[in-house]
């Protein structure tokens, strides 16, 4: 049996999934980093205040696999989640191999 799910409904489900990751947001004057804990050396997501959103490739792949969507669409929905969470505009998203966060 097949079900048709609207994009907004899928976004809501993925948003809840990302909300349940309990990311900690840390930042500096230029960027905000979504990390699993404050001690993490690597971030899952980096939002630059110029509107760029960089996403760790494993997170993109996790969302893509779990929700059976293409990786590009996974990047887009994560970008929309960042917009919603931070109430800031995401102009572009990019998948990266590593997201090293600066030490405080």
Tens-digit pLDDT profile for residues 42-66? 999 999 999 999 999 999 999 999 9
* Average pLDDT of the segment spanning 73-102: 94
101: confidence class by pLDDT, cuts 50, 70, 90:
confident
- SS3 of residue 97 by DSSP: coil
Give the model's pLDDT for residue 104. 59
The residue written with tokens 């990786």 in the block is 71
Assess whether pLDDT exceeds 80 at residue 14: yes
Q: How many CA atoms lie within 13 A of 44 on its CB side?
A: 21
CA 24 – CA 21 distance, rounded (Å): 9
Instruction: Give the chain's mean pLDDT.
Output: 92
CA 65 – CA 39 distance, rounded (Å): 28
Assess whether pLDDT exceeds 70 at residue 24: yes
Global pTM value: 0.90
DSSP summary character for residue 40: -
Give the model's pLDDT for residue 1. 74
CB of 54 closer than 8 Å to CB of 44: no
Report the side by side order of strands in the sheet with 45-48. Answer: 24-27, 31-35, 45-48, 52-56, 92-96
Give the model's pLDDT for residue 44. 96
């Amino acid at each position: 049996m097949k079900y048709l799910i609207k994009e907004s409904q899928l976004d809501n489900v993925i948003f809840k999934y990302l909300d349940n990751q309990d990311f900690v947001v840390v930042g500096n004057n230029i960027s905000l980093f979504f990390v699993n804990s404050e001690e993490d050396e690597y971030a899952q997501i980096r939002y630059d205040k110029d509107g760029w959103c960089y996403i760790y490739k494993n997170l993109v792949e996790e969302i893509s696999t779990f929700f059976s969507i293409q990786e590009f669409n996974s990047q887009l929905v994560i970008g929309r989640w960042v917009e919603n969470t931070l109430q800031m505009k995401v102009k572009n998203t990019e998948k990266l191999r590593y997201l090293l966060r600066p030490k405080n």
